[in-house]
Amino acid sequence: MTNAAQSSETPAFSFSLAVASEEAIARLMADLALLLMPGDTIALSGGLGAGKTTCARALIRQLAGDPVLDVPSPTFTLIQSYDLPQFTLLHADLYRITSPREIDELDLFDNDPRNVRLIEWPEHAGNALPHDRIDIALSHHTGQAPSRRDVTLTGTGLGAARVERLSALLRFLNQTEFADAQRTRLAGDASSRSYARMTLPGTGIVPDSTALLMNSPR
């Protein structure tokens, strides 16, 4: 995992990592879910088959607290709305968008501070894409294992702090036995804190190992 921070008029923070499986993508999205706040925008980019829909489905299911929630691709509906406990999430697929006028008609960027926007094919949004956002770029290269993906996360503007904190969270978890644990989002406590139960399956007569992960912003 590599990271680089920039300090300028447009703050940004970026890091990259390789994920070996869909389960690893789900864990990464679960960790990101702990950090999201109303008003955030997440932009998922990558070619066909790169894993954008896998990321979107894992993130929405984690936020909803439902690991089997039906999360259809909004390729034809363009936007799918989810009323989640913390906020309303708008899942958009802009692959079929061909003009700025269509973006305006979607009313996706209405600046409602209560909404979180999760956008596939964000490059089709052009200048309408907000500066304050989290970019997740996925790629798969010839010669790699079929399930491996290279992921680069970049936060710009207000999104920089989210990505920097995610990088710190991953470093913390990698120092524990729970880096590969299953994450289950737990209900909050009416504060800015967020929680997840970490579970490592036991083997034979050995019970599961569990821990509570708390994200507690200053």
> So where are the chain's domains?
2-180
In terms of C-beta density within 10 A (0-12 exposed, 13-18 middle, 19 or more buried), how is residue 217 classed?
Answer: exposed
pLDDT at 15: 96
**DSSP 3-state of 48:** coil
pLDDT greater than 80 at residue 210: yes
CB atoms within 10 A of CB 2: 9
**Among 31, 41, 56, 16, which residue's Cα sits nearest to residue 149?**
16
From 5-14, 17-26, 65-74, the region with the lowest mean pLDDT: 5-14
pTM of the full predicted structure? 0.88
Give CATH for domain 2-180: 3.40.50.300
Q: How is residue 207 annotated by DSSP?
A: P
Cβ partners under 8 Å of residue 183, min gap 6: 26, 27, 30, 31, 62, 196, 197, 198, 213
Determine the average pLDDT of the residues in 94-104.
85
- For 180-206, letters b (16+ CB in 10 Å) and e give ebbbbbeeeeeeeebbbebebeeeeee
Mean pLDDT of the chain: 88
The pair of three-digit structure tokens given for residue 188, joined into one six-digit string: 């909050």
pLDDT greater than 50 at residue 7: no
pLDDT greater than 70 at residue 142: no
Determine the average pLDDT of the residues in 176-201.
87
Q: To the nearest whole percent, how much of the chain has pLDDT over 70? A: 94
